[in-house]
Structure 1
Amino acid sequence: MSDTFSARLRAASWQDHQAAESQRYVSALVAGELPRQRYADLVAQHYFIYQVLEEAADAMRDDPLAGGFVDDRLTRLPALEADLAYLLGPDWAGRIAPNLATRRYVARMQEVCFTFAPAFIAHHYTRYLGDLSGGLFIGRQVAQTYELTEEGGVAFYHFAGIDDPRGYKNAYRARLDALPLDVTAEAALVGEVAVAYRHNSAVLAELGQEQEPKPVAPESMESAA
């Protein structure tokens, strides 16, 4: 097994990664068990998350550690805006709001990603490498299930400037391996990846809870009888 930093990071975050991917909401979405509006709910939460992450990328563009990871080919916000316009209509901005888990996720990124390079890299890694891995599969499945296209509803999952996702991810991991991190900074980055995955899982869990039927109070049942 490789002893590179990227390999250690992947191993350390594997369980958190699996926990996020195994959320009931994700499996139901991929299986086509949810109405299309529930997919639009995910797009809306992504919009708020990437809005902050990409503001942080602009702020960290010249940072000696973080700047090498900022790549405009990864930018997702315009695609998310196009997807929301397609799914919800031209008034989409007034029809979406972050759920509680998303607000907490965004608050964490606002706290750490604009000034601390290891934390920014951790959130950047968690989101974009995920987008270029399992995210591509989810995009294909959602497009097929809900009859969406790159031009209509799933632009988020298409990286026009990246023809070889595998090669891009390999190059990204090489940049991680080349980071001149001391023990403290490395531990901070690994720890923040775990934080990012937990926030992502919480967002998906809350979306999943929104799909569950609401329990009927006893008095409501009596009045309906």
Structure 2
Amino acid sequence: MTTNLALQLRQGTTKAHSMAENVSFVKSFLGGVVDKQAYRQLIANFYFVYSAIEDEMKRHQESQIIKPIYFEELNRKSSLEEDLQFYYGLEWQDKIFPSPATKVYINRIHEISNTSPELLIAHCYTRYLGDLSGGQILKKITQSAMNLSGGEGTAFYEFKDIKDEKNFKQNYRLALDSIHLSDSAIKSIVSEANIAFKLNMKIFQELNSNFIKIIAIFLFNFIKRIKLPGFKS
């Protein structure tokens, strides 16, 4: 018996998905405008988010609900570590921190893992299927915007253990549909997926706010300079 969970997740998050794509930071990114400082903080934020998701998924990997969608080839933690070393250097672990919005996100993941682990499905669906679907496009944008060559700084977008991403996504959706869930559990998972989108949006909004602050400080300092006697442009 199929639950049509994959379809219900897609249909139930359409509005949240659209809202996430319209956050200024995301729109700028998709338009090819990528600030390196903001981007490397995003990678750091994702490192903490995926570490939380993957730790909790591993914890519940043998449960009847989590086991059908526990695919280690989806894990992003090691790929993010590779990117963090590129952006921050060998001592990257001493230089990164989760932003306030990221702390809220990872606290949510740990909370539901302790109380309702089936809700982890929502976070996996929101992040991993999105990564598989848009990864190569985002990789090209990142490479072009920051003049990167080869695979430097873009390991996050590479799923080296997945040979056919389209086929894998189809199998993942079938696995979602195979999980035995009550109607109320499905509604809770769809609701949690919308929360996941909102948590991602908060991270993007935070990055956009920080980027605007940087530009404002730069402009303020520049204006101060041009007011100084003897300044020449």
Alignment map for 1:17-28 (pairs within 5 Å): 17-28=17-28
Q: Distance in 1 between matches of 2:196 and 2:8?
A: 17
**Structure 2 residue aligned with 1:15:** 15
Deviations 1:135-158 (CA, angstroms, capped at 9, x unpaired): 332122112222335641000000
Deviation at 1:214, TM superposition (A): 5.5
**Structure 1 residue aligned with 2:120:** 120
Q: Distance in 1 between matches of 2:57 and 2:147?
A: 33
Alignment map for 1:82-161 (pairs within 5 Å): 82-114=82-114, 116-149=116-149, 151-161=151-161
Q: Distance in 2 between matches of 1:32 and 1:5?
A: 34
**Structure 2 residue aligned with 1:211:** 211
Matched, 1:202 2:202: yes
Match of 1:79, as an amino acid? S
Match of 1:47, as an amino acid? Y
User: SS state of the match for residue 160, structure 1?
Assistant: coil
Q: Distance in 2 between matches of 1:215 and 1:71?
A: 45
**Structure 2 residue aligned with 1:193:** 193
User: SS state of the match for residue 28, structure 2?
Assistant: helix
**Structure 2 residue aligned with 1:69:** 69
Q: Distance in 2 between matches of 1:149 and 1:112?
A: 40
Task: Tell me how large the CA RMSD over aligned residues is.
Answer: 2.3
Gapped regions of structure 2 (runs ≥ 5): 229-233
Match of 1:172, as an amino acid? Y
Cα–Cα, structure 1 residues 48 and 125, in superposed 2: closer, same or farther, change >3 Å? same
Q: Distance in 2 between matches of 1:51 and 1:149?
A: 27
Percent sequence identity over aligned pairs? 30
Match of 1:97, as an amino acid? F
Match of 1:186, as an amino acid? I
Deviation at 1:114, TM superposition (A): 4.7
Q: Distance in 2 between matches of 1:149 and 1:159?
A: 18
Cα–Cα, structure 1 residues 113 and 143, in superposed 2: closer, same or farther, change >3 Å? farther
Q: Distance in 1 between matches of 2:150 and 2:106?
A: 26
Cα–Cα, structure 1 residues 216 and 145, in superposed 2: closer, same or farther, change >3 Å? closer
**Structure 2 residue aligned with 1:172:** 172
Q: Distance in 2 between matches of 1:114 and 1:75?
A: 21
Equivalent residues, number: 219
Larger radius of gyration: 2
Cα–Cα, structure 1 residues 169 and 114, in superposed 2: closer, same or farther, change >3 Å? farther
Q: Distance in 1 between matches of 2:114 and 2:169?
A: 23
Q: Distance in 2 between matches of 1:93 and 1:29?
A: 26
Cα–Cα, structure 1 residues 141 and 215, in superposed 2: closer, same or farther, change >3 Å? closer
TM-score by length of 2: 0.86
**Structure 2 residue aligned with 1:59:** 59
Gapped regions of structure 1 (runs ≥ 5): none
Q: Distance in 2 between matches of 1:136 and 1:216?
A: 35
Q: Distance in 2 between matches of 1:214 and 1:119?
A: 41
**Structure 2 residue aligned with 1:36:** 36
Q: Distance in 2 between matches of 1:150 and 1:114?
A: 41
Deviation at 1:9, TM superposition (A): 1.6
Match of 2:80, as an amino acid? L
User: SS state of the match for residue 105, structure 1?
Assistant: helix
Contact 1:66 1:121 in 2 (8 A): yes
Q: Distance in 1 between matches of 2:180 and 2:75?
A: 26
